[in-house]
Amino acid sequence: MTVFFCEGNESKGKNVEKTSTLTKEEKAYFMCAAIGEAKKAQAIAEVPIGAVVVLEGEIIGRGHNLRETTQDATMHAEMIAIREACAKVGSWRLEDSQLFVTLEPCPMCGGAAMLSRVEEIYFGAYDPKGGATGSLLNLATDERFNHWSYVEAGILQAECSDLLRTFFKELRQKKKFASKKTSLPE
């Protein structure tokens, strides 16, 4: 498990070091809910990524990838969960909330979490090709922005990674089978 945070920059009057407000058991519980959302995506042939937004111990937003289904590039699990959470609280500000997502947020989703004032971000699997909360960059702890989040990686990492690995392995096998089928003489 990796924790990302920014050291305070006293010369600018900033102190962005934050800590988790949740227990290990709470983190696992809410990540399991995000995994449940990811399985919904998998069931409809979407990349299995799921997210939940939590406020005061209650899930107030849920989402799973719908990018292929809707042909909308913004229909990531985090975006859907954040929209639902904002609607539930009646505000764009999700202060004191936590975002749980099975895959490290991309720049769009990390930006949405920052702009909606999510206090804590927890993710399962790293995204070395597109992650914006620790892998390629870290929007959530960049002190140049006016809001920072606590970020913790590796929550139920094996389960989250296995979902993705299995999905892409099956997808490659289907594509391989389809290409063999089309190349057979009649």
Put the strands of the sheet holding 150-153 in their side by side order.
2-4, 150-153, 120-125, 97-103, 50-55, 58-64
Q: What is the C-alpha to C-alpha distance for residues 94 and 71, in angstroms, rounded to an integer?
A: 27
Burial (CB < 10 A; 0-12, 13-18, 19+), residue 70, is: exposed
| Distances 103 to 8, 10, 19, 156 between C-alpha atoms, Å | 27, 33, 21, 11
Planar angle of CA 62, 66, 69, nearest 5 degrees: 150
To the query of whether residue 78 is one of the catalytic residues in this protein, the response is: yes
Residue with tokens 């936590």: 98
Of the residues 46, 78, 119, 152, only one is catalytic, namely 78
CB 24 within 8 A of CB 39: no
Active-site residues, by number, are: 78
